[in-house]
Amino acid sequence: MNTKIKTFSFRTILPVCFLFITSVLFSSNTLFSQSCTVTGPLSVPLNTHVLYLTDISGQNWEVYSYNGAQAQIVFADDDSLMVNSGPTPGNFTVYVLSNPQYNNLCSVNVTVDLTLPVELSSFTSITDQRNVTLSWTTVSEENNSGFQIERSMVKEDWRSAGFVNGAGTVNSPVNYSFTDYNVPAGIYRYRLKQIDFNGNYEYHNLRNEVTIGTPEKFALYQNYPNPFNPVTKINYDLPSDDFVKITLFDISGKEVRTLVNEFRQAGFYSIEFNASELTSGLYIYKLESAKFTAVKRMMLVK
């Protein structure tokens, strides 16, 4: 019996091997030639939080400081990095490393210097009863989005009080002001959180503390505006804690509305009254407490 034996020549398997090797090399080359870019400021001031972004994800970040710089990573995720530039001038490099091979995919070199993107020449405060007006002037500005005004009582956390838009990039002085209205009695600190269009920020602290005291005596003030249509404000002062009631009457003496009816701590107060549901005419408002009573008139004109 004749037996046929099948054989494979090298020529038969060579194309298959070549295809396999080429595929491996192509995959390997693709893996190790992966590239990226890092975007973010190339020059930053001292003690500034700086944001860097990359166009790929799933990678690792590394920051290397040299020439005296002391930059540190604040937080990092797959495609963004926040760096604190540190307290001393110098340089640092931001690296994006492949995961898990830790090959350097891309990097950016950054200079840390004494130049501030926004330089303030003054920052002052003026207190008018319960209102605090902050004024500040910049010498120059670079990429300035604006100022977040923050306030805190001594030994308490900072809270946002408002926001003032910046001038972008200018090489001449710019004056700013912000009024924090109806601040409760207490001792406060204020600071500006200057934010650029990249999300980086820097703090400017008011050197003095702001004291909002208590009035020396009871007072009920004339509403403003007066005459009005349909909204007006009524201010009153309490030198001590007291239960307060403010009632609105029409000219015949009929009670129309109760504006305030609660216990309040000593301080300066302001209430807004909307008379859109009332008809035009003369009205009387009366403040009553255990120690004080006062009456004023207001005119609604529609």
**CATH code where residue 197 lies:** 2.60.40.10
Task: Tell me if 114 sits within 8 A of 146, measured CB to CB.
Answer: no
Domain carrying residue 99 = 38-113
C-beta atoms surrounding 28 within 10 Å: 10
Residue 26 lies in a domain: no
190 and 124 in a common domain:
yes
Q: According to the model, what pLDDT value does residue 78 have?
A: 84
pLDDT value of position 115: 59
| Residue showing tokens 């209102």 | 131
Q: The domain spanning residue 226 has which CATH number?
A: 2.60.40.1930
Checking 212-217 for CB contacts under 8 A at 24+ apart, the result is 212/127, 212/130, 212/132, 212/183, 212/184, 212/185, 212/186, 212/187, 212/188, 212/267, 212/268, 213/185, 214/185, 214/238, 214/239, 214/240, 214/266, 214/267, 215/129, 215/239, 215/266, 215/267, 215/268
Decide if 58 contacts 76 (C-beta within 8 A): no
pLDDT of residue 34: 61
If phi > 0 it is left, if psi is from -120 to 50 it is alpha, else beta; for residue 133 that is beta
What integer pLDDT is reported at residue 5 of this predicted model? 39
Instruction: Give pLDDT, residue 108.
Output: 93
Q: Is 183 a member of any domain? A: yes
For β-strands 242-250 and 255-264, DSSP reports them as antiparallel
Which helix (DSSP H) or strand (DSSP E) does residue 152 occupy?
A: strand 131-153
Same domain, 206 and 238: no
Task: Please state whether 210 falls in left (phi above 0), alpha (psi between -120 and 50) or beta.
Answer: beta
- 68 belongs to a structural domain: yes
9 is a domain residue: no
The answer on 233 and 160 residing in a single domain is no
* CA distance linking residue 222 with residue 238, whole number of Å: 16
Q: Is the dihedral of CA 287, 288, 290, 291 positive or negative?
A: positive
Clarify whether residues 252 and 180 are in a common domain: no
Q: In order along the chain (302 residues), what is the average pLDDT of each group of 10 residues?
A: 41 38 37 70 83 85 94 91 91 88 86 77 91 94 92 88 94 94 88 88 91 89 94 92 96 95 89 94 96 96 92
pLDDT at 154: 75
Q: Decide which of 154, 186, 212 is a domain's last residue.
A: 212
